[in-house]
Structure 1
Amino acid sequence: MTLDQFKSQLSKLLRDIPRGTTAHLTEFALAYWDGQQVIYAFPDNNGSDHLEDQFDLGEYEWAHWHDEFAAWIAQPVFSVRPEVVK
């Protein structure tokens, strides 16, 4: 799977589920649909439900987390986070 294929598949999944749903891509990365595009974000490290920073999913992140992203596509994990609905 390539980065573009992953992004396309993730985008299709997130568009088809209720807004406010986040994809738990890795222990350190989440994604959600904001109504126009996929937003990638880091969860707060303090264990709260808040999101810390957004990031662009590029080649560096893809290379670093490829195996985790591939595992997520095989078995997606989601949760509801009302704070991502704007």
Structure 2
Amino acid sequence: METMAPEAFRNDLGMLLRDVSRGVAARLTPFVVAWWDGNEVVFAFLREDDPQRLEEAFNLDDLLWDEWSAEFAGWLRAPRFDRFAEIENWIVVSPPREA
């Protein structure tokens, strides 16, 4: 099976996320989510003690892609989305970005 490149995954995921409501995230794994913040895809780990709460955001490029690519590609075949009030709050309080 051919491995998807991180940029291709980010692009495909971004296209899907732009079509969902604000505060809705892709649940990529039990402890990783991603959402569209209006400008780009944001990735975050969920807390181990409460998988409905965000732990911290991370840069997809900082991951060991080979360890995650199969699971993320599997998500593309069977996407799962969940609403997170915390994500909606992050989007609301984020400062505007300069062009």
Q: Structures share a fold, TM > 0.5?
A: yes
Distance 1:18 1:46 in 2: 26
* Residue in structure 2 matched with residue 35 of structure 1 by the alignment: 38
Question: How many residues end up aligned between the 2 structures?
Answer: 86
Q: Does 1:61 align with 2:64?
A: yes
Could you say if the C-alpha distance between residues 48 and 70 of structure 1 is closer, same or farther in structure 2, counting changes exceeding 3 Å? closer
RMSD of Structure 2 on Structure 1 (CA): 1.4
Q: Deviations over 1:14-35 (max 9, x none)?
A: 0111110010111221101111
Which has the higher Rg, Structure 1 or Structure 2? 2
Distance 1:73 1:61 in 2: 19
Provide structure 2 residue ranges, at least 5 long, that are not aligned to the other structure.
93-99
> What pairs up with 1:5-84 in 2 under 5 angstroms?
5-58=8-61, 60-84=63-87
Identity of aligned residues (%): 38
SS of the counterpart of 2:64? Answer: helix
> Given residue 79 of structure 1, which amino acid in structure 2 is its aligned partner?
D
Q: Decide whether the 8 Å contact of 1:43 with 1:49 is kept in 2.
A: yes
The alignment's TM-score, normalised by the length of structure 1, stands at 0.90
Provide structure 1 residue ranges, at least 5 long, that are not aligned to the other structure.
none
> Given residue 44 of structure 1, which amino acid in structure 2 is its aligned partner?
R
The alignment's TM-score, normalised by the length of structure 2, stands at 0.79
Name the stretch that deviates more: 28-37 or 71-80: 28-37
* Residue in structure 2 matched with residue 3 of structure 1 by the alignment: 6
- The runs of 4+ residues in structure 1 deviating greater than 4 Å are none
